[in-house]
Chain A
Amino acid sequence: MELSGNTLFIKDVLVLSNAEFFIRDSMRLLEDFDQERLEINLDELGLIDTGGVAALDLLKEKMGNKGFEVDYTGGKEDIRRKMEIFSLDNPMVFEGSRKISFFEKIGEGFERIVRDYMSSFLVLTANVVYWSISDIFKSKRQRKGEFYNQAVLIGVNAIWIVAGLAFIIGLVMALQSSAQLRNFGANIYIVDLTVIAMMSEMGPLITAIVVAGRSGSAIAAEIATMKVTSELDALKTMALQPVRFVVVPKMHGSVITLPFLTIIADIMGILGGMFIAFVSLDITPQVFVNRMAETLYNRDIFIGIIKSLVFAVIIVLTGSFYGLRVKEGAEGVGKVTTTAVVVSITLVMVADSIMGLLFY
C-alpha cells in the first residue's frame, strides 16, 4: 500500500489473513491526510475476498466519518465484481449496535420483568390454582394413576434424603447450642430450642430445599423437554390443556406429600436433638419428651404445615414456569432447570421470612 497525493494505492492481496493489518497500517498512513478527497486505487490489487472488502469498506467509513470524501477507483473486472457482491448494501443493519443509555437499560429491564415474568407468572398461577381446585372434583380430567405417580416421585422417593438431612441438622444444631447452654446451666432449654426451631422453621425449610433441588429441577427439565420436543403442542392439538394435564398432577402430588415430608423432617430433627441432649447434656429421652409436651403448642405444628403447603406451591409453580419458558433447544433445558432451582429456593426463603414476620 502506498499513499501518493490524495490517492491510496492498494497492492497485491487483501484477504481475511491481512485485513486487520491493512486497517491498522492504512489508518496510520492516513493519520495526517489533509486533502478533501481520498481515492482508493485498486489497479494493482490482485486478489480480494470478503474480509478484504469488509476492510476497505471499514476504511472508507472511518475516513468518511472524519469528513473526507472517499471513492474507489480502478481495479480489474474480477475485483470490482467482488467489491459489488461483498459490499454491505444495507448500512441500517448496524443500527442494532447503537449505544443504549443507562436509564434506557433500567427502563427496558423493568418493562421486560413486568411483561415477561410477572404477568406470565401470574397467569400461570391463576391457571394452576383454578385447575388444581376444580380438578379435585373431576377425576376424569387427569390421567389414571398420575397423582399417585407424582406423589411417589416428589414425596415418597424423597423420604430418606429428607429424614437423613433433618436428623443431621437437628444433631448439629443441638450440638452447637449445648456448649452455650451448659455455660449458663440452662441445659433443659435444649428441648425448647430444638423442638420449636425444627417444628416451625427448620423442618419445613429443609424439606422445601431438598424438594426444590430434587423435584423442582425435575419438573422444569421435564416440562422444558416436552416443550422442545413439541409434546406440549401435541397436547394442545389433542384439545388438552398442557398446564392442566402436566402441571396440575404435580401440584396435587407435592401439596399432599410435602406436609408429610415436613412432619418426618420435624421428627427426625427432634430425634437428632434428643440424641445430643442425652449424650452431651445428660438429658434422658423421658425428660426430653416431658419437656417437649410442655413446650410445643399446636400453633407451632400448624405453622410448619402451612409453610410446607406454601413452599409446595412455590416449587411446582417455579419449576413449571421456567420449564414453559424454554426457548433454545437442548441447551435451553439445562439453563431453565438451573434457574428454576435457584429461583425456587430464593422464593422459598423469601416466603419463609414473610411468614416468619406474619406469625410472630
Chain B
Amino acid sequence: MRENNIIQVRNLSASFNGRDILSDVSFDVFEKDITVILGGSGAGKSVLLKHMLGLYEPREGSIHILGHDMAGLEEKDQKQMYLRMGVFYQNGGLLNSLTVGENIALPLEQHTDLNDELISRIVWTKLQLVNLPNAYGLYPSQLSGGMLKRAALARAIVMDPPLLFCDEPGAGLDPISLASLDKLILNLRAQMGISVVIITHEVSSILRIADRIVFIDEGKVIFEGTLNEGLESNVEHVYQFFEKGKL
C-alpha cells in the first residue's frame, strides 16, 4: 500500500432532499498521480468534487486533503487550503470583464504582496506553459473553446498549487483540442510535479492521462485502482464503460 496519499476520502455519504447521492465512498489520491474519477451521468461525480473542495459538508465520513480535514476547517484555514489547490472549471470560469492576463493575475494580486512587474512575469510564464503566449490582452470572449480551457488552466496553476482539480476539462472540445489539453495536463504534472484529480467520462482522455481511476456508480465506488487494473477489471459497469467507450 502506498503511503504518500494527499487525499483520503473515508466513508463519505451525502444526500439531498432525502435522496442518497453518495454512500460510503472511500478512496485515496496519491502524490504526483493523475487520478480520474469517472462514472456515468448522475453517478455523483460532481457532488463528490464539491465535497472535496469543501463546498458541501459531508453527512457522514471525512475528507482529508494535504493532511487537513476539510469539514473541520476554520474559515482562515480553509482560505489557506484553497491557495494550495487549483480548480479548473468545466466552462473555464474566467471573468468576462477582465482580459486573460488580468484573470490569471487576479489570485496573485489578491493573495500575495508581489509587485506588478513580478506578477506580470509570472502571468507570462503561465501563459507560456499553456501555449497561449499571445493571449495576455485578449478577453475570454475573443478566445476559442480550446484556448479558453488553456487560459483557465493557467489561472488554476498560477499560485503553483501542489494539487489541481479539473471538472470535466474536455467538455465541449473536439478530439484534437481534447488530446492537446490532455498533453498539456501531462506536461504540467511533469514540469510542476502537481497531483491532479480529474472528473470526466471521456474514455479517450482517461486512456491517455490516468494513472489511477476511481469508478463511481449510483453514488458508490465500484472500482479503485490503476488504469491497467481498470481495463482488465471484471466489474460489469467498468468493463462496459471502457468497452463501449472505445467504440
Contacts and interface: CB of A to CB of B under 8 A. Distances in A.
Contact of B122 (A17, A50, A90, A329): A50
Contacts of B158: 50
B118 A55 contact: yes
Given A53-B125, A328-B96, A20 B118 contact: yes
A86 interface: yes
A23 B140 CA distance: 32
B14 to A, nearest CB: 32
Most buried by B among A23, A54, A58: A54
Nearest to B134: A93
A51 interface: yes
Nearest to B117: A58
B141 A329 contact: yes
B128 A88 contact: yes
Contact of A86 (B118, B125, B136): B125
A54 B160 contact: no
Contact of A50 (B113, B126, B140): B126
Interface string B42-79: 00000000000000000000000000000000000000
A85 B192 CA distance: 9
Contact of A16 (B95, B114, B128): B114
Contact of B112 (A17, A86, A89, A97): A17
Given A15-B160, A90-B133, A85 B191 contact: yes
Contacts of B129: 85-86
A50 B95 CA distance: 23
Given A20-B114, A88-B128, A49 B121 contact: no
B124 interface: yes
B118 A327 contact: no
B30 interface: no
B124 A328 contact: no
Find the residue from A50, A55, A93, A329 having the highest chain B CB count within 10 A. A50
A330 interface: yes
Contacts, number: 79
A20 B96 contact: no
A329 B140 contact: yes
Contact of A328 (B125, B139, B191): B139
B141 A328 contact: yes
B125 A331 contact: no
A54 B122 contact: yes
Contact of B128 (A90, A329, A331): A90
B115 interface: yes
Nearest to B97: A331
B178 interface: no
A327 B128 contact: no
B137 interface: yes
A96 interface: yes
Given A15-B160, A16-B160, A51 B122 contact: yes
Interface string A2-38: 0000000000000111011001000000000000000
Given A58-B121, A327-B141, A50 B160 contact: yes
Contacts of A17: 112
Contact of B160 (A51, A88, A327): A51
A332 B96 contact: yes
B238 interface: no
A89 B128 contact: yes
Nearest to A327: B141
B159 interface: yes
Nearest to B121: A54
Contacts of A15: 160
A290 B39 CA distance: 86
B137 A96 contact: yes
A135 interface: no
B106 to A, nearest CB: 14
Nearest to B113: A20
Nearest to A57: B121
Given A20-B112, A86-B125, A93-B124, A54 B141 contact: no
B118 A54 contact: yes
B96 A329 contact: yes
Contact of B121 (A88, A329, A331): A88
B183 to A, nearest CB: 15
13 contacts: A15-B160, A19-B118, A20-B115, A50-B158, A51-B118, A55-B118, A58-B117, A85-B129, A88-B121, A88-B125, A327-B141, A329-B140, A332-B96
The 6 closest A-B pairs by CB, nearest first: A54-B121, A329-B96, A331-B97, A49-B160, A329-B141, A331-B96
Given A16-B112, A19-B112, 11 more contacts: A17-B112, A20-B115, A55-B118, A57-B121, A58-B118, A58-B121, A88-B121, A90-B133, A328-B141, A329-B96, A332-B96
Interface of B: 95-97, 108, 112-115, 117-118, 120-122, 124-126, 128-129, 133, 136-137, 139-142, 158-160, 191
